[in-house]
């Protein structure tokens, strides 16, 4: 076990002090592999609060991160701040309390599935690809429905395609 890692704490130190509070600013590169692009995470801060109970230690943590993401509609880059909390219980049978994995899980779940630059984002034109927030085009998108390719399909009486 690596004692000098900022996210690994000696159980006996926490127990002797009756708890521990830690505020850390971490290098975002530590968790770059939690995302599909290594440059998404711009900054990462943690607040950890350990409290001692009978035969265990409770960790209550909060993660603050700033991320460079892409709008789901127009693909413009945007930077947003996110935060989330977590808690974990560690039994007294441990020599070290390693918080790296619980922090990794929390950080990885911070990024939303769909992010928009704004509620009114118009996205990109399906035909020419321009960003419709900045420009207008004369393209007609009326014939681009998901099932339009099936419009000309003719079925015979037996349910098979006719020729």
Which of 16, 20, 3, 6 has the alpha carbon at shortest distance from 58? 20
Position 73 pLDDT exceeds 70: yes
Residue 110 near residue 104 (C-beta atoms within 8 A):
no
Over the stretch 4-48, which tens digit does the pLDDT of each residue have?
Answer: 688 999 999 999 999 999 999 999 999 988 888 888 999 999 999
What pTM, to 2 d.p., does this model score?
Answer: 0.76
Neighbour-count burial of 104, counting CB atoms closer than 10 A to its CB (0-12 exposed, 13-18 middle, 19+ buried): middle
Over the stretch 112-125, which tens digit does the pLDDT of each residue have?
Answer: 889 999 999 999 99
Over the stretch 39-68, which tens digit does the pLDDT of each residue have?
Answer: 899 999 999 999 998 889 999 999 999 999
- 30 with 106, same domain? yes
| pLDDT for the residue numbered 126 | 86
Domain tally, the chain: 2
- 112 with 149, same domain? no
| pLDDT for the residue numbered 143 | 61
- What confidence tier does 101 reach under pLDDT thresholds 50, 70, 90? very high
- 36 with 58, same domain? yes
Kindly report the number of other CB atoms within 10 A of residue 44's CB atom.
Answer: 21
Which structural domain, as residue segments, surrounds residue 63?
A: 8-120
Position 157 pLDDT exceeds 90: no
89 domain residue, yes or no? yes
**Structure letter (DSSP) for residue 23:** E
- 116 with 132, same domain? no
Q: Which two tokens stand for residue 153?
A: 């399909």
- 59 with 91, same domain? yes
2 domain residue, yes or no? no
1 domain residue, yes or no? no
Residue with tokens 């049978």: 93
- What confidence tier does 142 reach under pLDDT thresholds 50, 70, 90? low
- 133 with 94, same domain? no
Q: Which residues pair with 101 in a beta bridge?
A: none
- Tell me the three state secondary structure of residue 90: strand
């Amino acid at each position: 076990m690596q004692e000098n890692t900022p996210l690994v704490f000696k159980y006996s130190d926490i127990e002797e002090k009756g708890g521990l509070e830690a505020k850390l600013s971490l290098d975002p590169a530590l968790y770059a592999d939690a995302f599909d692009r290594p440059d998404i995470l711009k900054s990462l801060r943690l607040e950890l609060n350990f409290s001692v109970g009978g035969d265990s230690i409770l960790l209550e943590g909060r993660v603050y991160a700033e991320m460079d993401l892409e709008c789901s509609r127009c693909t413009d880059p945007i930077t947003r701040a996110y935060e989330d909390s977590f808690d974990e219980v560690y039994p007294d049978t441990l020599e070290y309390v390693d918080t790296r994995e619980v922090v990794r899980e929390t950080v990885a779940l911070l990024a939303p599935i769909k992010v928009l630059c704004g509620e009114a984002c118009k996205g990109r034109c399906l035909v020419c690809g321009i960003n419709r927030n900045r420009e207008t085009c004369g393209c007609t998108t009326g014939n681009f429905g998901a099932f339009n390719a099936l419009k000309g399909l003719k079925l015979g009486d037996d349910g098979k395609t006719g020729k």
